[in-house]
Structure 1
Amino acid sequence: MTSTGISVTALDLDLDQDLATEREHLAISRAALGRMRERAEALFATGDQVAGDAYAAETLGRTLARRVAELADDPNTPLFFGRLDFGASADNPHSGAAADGRPGGGDDAYADHAGRRYHVGRRHVTDERGEPLVLDWRAPVSRSFYRASARDPQGVAVRRRFGFSNGALTSFEDEHLDRGEELGTASRILTAEIERPRVGPMRDIVATIQPEQDELVRADLADSICVQGAPGTGKTAVGLHRAAYLLYLHRERLRRSGVLIVGPNRAFLSYIAAVLPALGEVEVAQATVEDLAAGVPVRAVEDPVVATVKHDVRMAEVLRRAVAAHIGEPTEPIVVSDGSFRWRIGLEVLHRVVDETRREGLPYGTGRDRVRARVVGLLQRQAEARRAESPGDAWLRRMGRSKPVTAFLDAVWPALTPDGLVHRLLTERDRLAAAADGLLTAEEQALVSGTAGPTGTKLGRTPKATKWTAADAVLIDEAAGLMERPAGFGHVVIDEAQDLSPMQCRAVARRSEHGSITLLGDLAQGTAPWAAADWRESLRHLGKPGAVVVPLTVGFRVPAA
């Protein structure tokens, strides 16, 4: 046998041994994950015995149930997909500052990992001593799996990618970054994974995240971003993986405030539903805009001409005016008797209470409660001065429900419901004309109220008797937001956002007022009459005008032509 033949045979033996070692590590890691789940299940089964009270038991139970779900293992999904071998020394001839200013491979930032080996996978797996067998792809050191290159090795000597078939490890390939070797698009495993035919629900892309995608996935929680991308550029995957990354980095904060995925329809949400659970994230809310604006049942279909007017952002100001128009001025003093004394609040003081509350810009319902509380507070101070003691809670509640106080409230700050407000606006021509003055033309007002042109809403004598359309539901949600602020999410991902109307954007914005967003879409794919023409406009309606717009230009699942 020639020397060349001997060399190839020896190399084959080394590769076979290496593959066997990696398969053994996979088996050990799967067994360890099974033990982690068994421990979590045992804790879940006995959690109520160690909790101090019913509330603690319920909280602990939810936490342990979530932990059990997070540790689920799909044998057909690779537990790890890559490996990082850091050089024995921080010195690296190819090191240097990265393009974005991060340190290169020769920097002390990677010295702690010198000589270490890490398998990178979908979740963190440890052995019985707590030593990591698989590192979560979101861990800081895992960043080098996606970002390291021959030009900027980041301390990595060898990056290994694994090939799998139905969960079985079949192959691997190495890139010796310390020698300046990088496969890039020549990687068989990377190319095969990217081009694997799509069958069934959407899969995660943790094994194939590209550097430009990784930059977006690991963006800070405080940053709102808009990702513009044509089909096949991976924008949906970027949004979902960013949600998973933020949940990993800000676990407790986002567990309290929540993460919301907004999709164009239920079929789309069903298609992407398996991605986050595959990454160990099982508590993410999913909804369509119709789900968010579900204050009334939708029982009619609107003509696009009418719906376009209702979806216009001018309707937000029309509704704000309509709500504000219900606030009146006091016309007479309040006189209240508690059975022992008669208490009086003068007209001037009542004017001041209403004016101060109006200037505070509170939601309408909160403002009504504030006016009541201030009136009762004025009565309380009079009682304290007369009796030299503070009246009890029962007295305060009785005063707040007394007929004079209730009549005053109904006159200057009447109770409203969102559907009731919109119903009155659409059925009372004078009320609509006053709220829409200078905003909607007479023709547009006629379209909205259904008195001319194509129709959609079947207005009944009452809100419940009305057959509302999807556009009406968005108006009613806007009205609800003017009355009471809805609970917000810590982060919201909005996919296929090019077809969101300004009013739909505002519905989402109310759920993310104090959080950040990831906006995903393609302006070229807009189909609705109100489809976005400029992401800046959509971002303004979403309350995030400062968000950066980032294009993804590489199509991974479409032909080059």
Structure 2
Amino acid sequence: MPAVADESEILAAERAHLAESRAALRRMREHAESLSADTAADLVSRQFLESLLQQRVEALADRPGTPLFFGRMDRDGESGPDLPAVMYVGRRHVHDGDEGRPLVLDWRAPVSRAFYQAGPADPMGWRLRRRFGFQAGELTAFEDEPLDGGDPHKNDPHKNDPHKSDPHKSDRGTSRILTEEIERPRTGPMRDIVATIQPEQDAIVRAALGATVCVQGAPGTGKTAVGLHRAAYLLFTHRERLSRSGVLIVGPNRAFLAYISAVLPALGEVRVEQATIDDLLGAPLGEEPAPVSAAKGDARLADVLRRALWQHVRKPEEGLVVTRGSARYRLADHEVREIAAGLRGTTRYGAGRAAFAQRLAHRILVQMEQRGEAPDDRVQDQVARSRPVRQVLDAVWPKVTAEQVLHRLLSDAEFLRRAAKGVLDEDEQAAIRWAKAPRSHRSVRWTAADRALLDELNGLIERTASLGHLVVDEAQDLSAMQLRALGRRCGTGSATVLGDLAQGTTAWSARSWTEVLAHLGQDGEVTELSLGFRVPGTVLDYAARLLPHVAPGLERPRSLRPGAGALDVRRVPDVVSAAAGAAREALARPGSVGLIVPDADTGAHAAALAAAGLAAEVLGPESDGTARLLVVPAALAKGLEYDHVIVAEPAAIAAAEARGLARLYVVLTRAVTSLTVLHRDDLPVELAS
């Protein structure tokens, strides 16, 4: 019995530290709430200060169901000037308000790196790593790991207690607490992974701000979580710089963004923007065949658009005459042509138009000075805005919008031919040209591919504001032109690019990360994560049967978890009714349930669940995805995870689109605990093999 008492004493001490830390965090929040912005000098300053104080209060929120710290590091001897003797690692920094003594160190702090990276080969100055197990926010267990190759309890009076020295190790030699945290059932949005970050993930998270990182991640490797945690790390490390320039998370759809929405707030980052590509470029109003979208998404369209825009700059047919008082000043047509030619293509179209007017006006001012006048900058501005200059400006360098240029390009065969000469052949030109052109640019129902072309044109006309850092998830599904649009938004910053080439499901899906980075305009290294922590091994092996057919060049993914009994493949006479029965079975176990179905069958499955008395939510653009049982159209499954997944009729999912096998690969890798596959029709031959 003494061993139990010893462990109980340690748990009691750690729980006391947790209670002390929570009390200190509460005092920190109360102090932040007591601060006032009334001392600001003016209204704008006061509003800015109030916003900062509100962010501080939100960041200090204590979430009772979330552990305040999850690990501890011990070192030999007394603490030095840089390293404490004992360090608790958690989601945010907590200190004693009276003494300033750190009770919990933020996981992003440089010293906390050792919690993730230290090991027997390189203990980094530490002797012991302790992990904590929690249930509903209560500390329930601990597990110690020696880092120096010695006894983890050589400074502990109970060091000879064998039960205490290794009470929670799993049979596989890995941390049982770590495994239980990974496998813990979930409902609702994605959780942070600060307690389970692995060394290879930590290296990506802590990459320098100036570096663009590209992560090729197999299902279950945590690539999305790594990207989000890198954003949190960069905001912590470069707070002032990134608060000015901003950080943006770009995801594939609104359902995905809703799923990840809780991660950064849980880490204390409450002001990070999230958007889809449609949010940035504009929602599509129309649709078009996939081959047409693929043709418009080709990177060569950038050159075609540039030529189309600059074709609007024309040679002057006459010179310029400016009258001021009784004096008349002239520029011959060849002089006007010379000024336009000097600017054409050397700057953005809008800036060039403004510069053209100013240079015309400057030539007039030179003539004034030659006649003995002394004009100043105000006179030059007056001349630049004068009617004669504006007439020449509109004739030679007309003001145009992106919509006007693209409408003309896609509706005027001759204009398209001139712009695409040597870039697109006749068949490619015919593929993107409208068969029946809308009457004007105002009546066009722009497609998703068109939106990227419009953004390219807008970038050629005016400068696009750049962010400090951009995180792009599921980047393999973006066209070259969409990637160029994102690249303009991090032209002076860096990016974290996440995805899986095997999960590319669009008509323009990328085949190479080198090409993706080139389209973004970023230099970066590609890191491949192939060891999964989330998807059971039996499930991952089953889905990997498709890999040679969707991405033959990728390394076959492996799972840290064998997952015996996690896979159940059944042939049934009626998939809809069988899916309702499987959902009922899954609900009897802890965790979330995702019924992933062919898009066309969503309504039938939802009706069957309702008839069976099972409360379910259909995942869509307006749903928050928090229900325990969700009906998920296959097209929206990417990036999502559920404890128990039921896949209905794989053959129908694969047959629904051109890259249907890739979609099926996505669908089959959404399970964290169990996967049930129901089919009446034969399975795709690639899966059955």
Structure 2-normalised TM-score?
0.72
Q: 1:440 is aligned with what amino acid?
A: L
Shift in Å, 1:76:
0.8
Provide the residue aligned with 1:117 in structure 2.
86
5 Å-filtered alignment, 1:176-255, equals 176-180=146-150, 185-255=173-243
Cα shift readout 1:483-502 (whole Å, capped 9, x = no counterpart): 11211111111111111111
Shift in Å, 1:113:
4.8
Cα shift readout 1:403-445 (whole Å, capped 9, x = no counterpart): 1111111122111101111011112111011111222222222
Query: Relative contact order (alpha carbons < 8 A, sep ≥ 6): 1 or 2 greater?
Result: 1
CA contact (8 A) 2:358 2:380 kept: no
CA contact (8 A) 1:80 1:122 kept: yes
Shift in Å, 1:392:
6.4
Q: 1:318 is aligned with what amino acid?
A: V
Distance 1:428 1:115 in 2: 71
Provide the residue aligned with 1:147 in structure 2.
117
Structure 1-normalised TM-score?
0.88
Q: 1:319 is aligned with what amino acid?
A: L
Shift in Å, 1:59:
2.0
Q: Kindly, what percent of the aligned residue pairs are identical?
A: 53
Decide whether aligned partners of structure 1 residues 122 and 343 sit closer, same or farther in structure 2, where only a CA change above 3 A counts: same
Decide whether aligned partners of structure 1 residues 324 and 119 sit closer, same or farther in structure 2, where only a CA change above 3 A counts: same
Aligned with 2:133 (options 163, 170, 179): 163
Decide whether aligned partners of structure 1 residues 13 and 423 sit closer, same or farther in structure 2, where only a CA change above 3 A counts: same
5 Å-filtered alignment, 1:364-513, equals 364-383=349-368, 386=371, 388-391=373-376, 393=378, 395-451=379-435, 459-513=437-491
Distance 1:130 1:209 in 2: 28
Shift in Å, 1:462:
1.5
Distance 1:326 1:114 in 2: 65
CA contact (8 A) 1:151 1:180 kept: no
CA contact (8 A) 2:213 2:524 kept: yes
Q: Which runs of 5+ in 2 are unaligned?
A: 153-168, 539-689
Shift in Å, 1:521:
0.8
Is structure 2 residue 299 aligned with structure 1 residue 316? Answer: no
Cα shift readout 1:318-344 (whole Å, capped 9, x = no counterpart): 101101111222333211123353333
Decide whether aligned partners of structure 1 residues 178 and 114 sit closer, same or farther in structure 2, where only a CA change above 3 A counts: farther
Q: 1:549 is aligned with what amino acid?
A: V
Provide the residue aligned with 1:75 in structure 2.
64
Q: 1:379 is aligned with what amino acid?
A: I
Shift in Å, 1:347:
3.7
Q: 1:61 is aligned with what amino acid?
A: E
Cα shift readout 1:104-144 (whole Å, capped 9, x = no counterpart): xxxxxx95456611111001111113221110000011000
Shift in Å, 1:17:
2.1
Cα shift readout 1:1-51 (whole Å, capped 9, x = no counterpart): xxxxxxx51x332322221221121122112212222222222xx30x211
Decide whether aligned partners of structure 1 residues 514 and 137 sit closer, same or farther in structure 2, where only a CA change above 3 A counts: same
Distance 2:32 2:326 in 1: 63
Decide whether aligned partners of structure 1 residues 392 and 230 sit closer, same or farther in structure 2, where only a CA change above 3 A counts: closer
Is structure 2 residue 111 aligned with structure 1 residue 126? Answer: no
Cα shift readout 1:478-523 (whole Å, capped 9, x = no counterpart): 1111111211111111111111111111111111111111111111
Distance 2:516 2:427 in 1: 26
Provide the residue aligned with 1:528 in structure 2.
506
Decide whether aligned partners of structure 1 residues 237 and 423 sit closer, same or farther in structure 2, where only a CA change above 3 A counts: same
Cα shift readout 1:209-260 (whole Å, capped 9, x = no counterpart): 0001001110111111111111100111111111111111111111111111
Aligned with 1:13 (options 5, 13, 29): 5
CA contact (8 A) 2:216 2:528 kept: yes
Provide the residue aligned with 1:52 in structure 2.
41
Decide whether aligned partners of structure 1 residues 111 and 132 sit closer, same or farther in structure 2, where only a CA change above 3 A counts: closer
Deviates more, 1:185-194 or 1:265-274: 185-194
Decide whether aligned partners of structure 1 residues 33 and 355 sit closer, same or farther in structure 2, where only a CA change above 3 A counts: same
Shift in Å, 1:181:
6.3
Deviates more, 1:17-26 or 1:476-485: 17-26
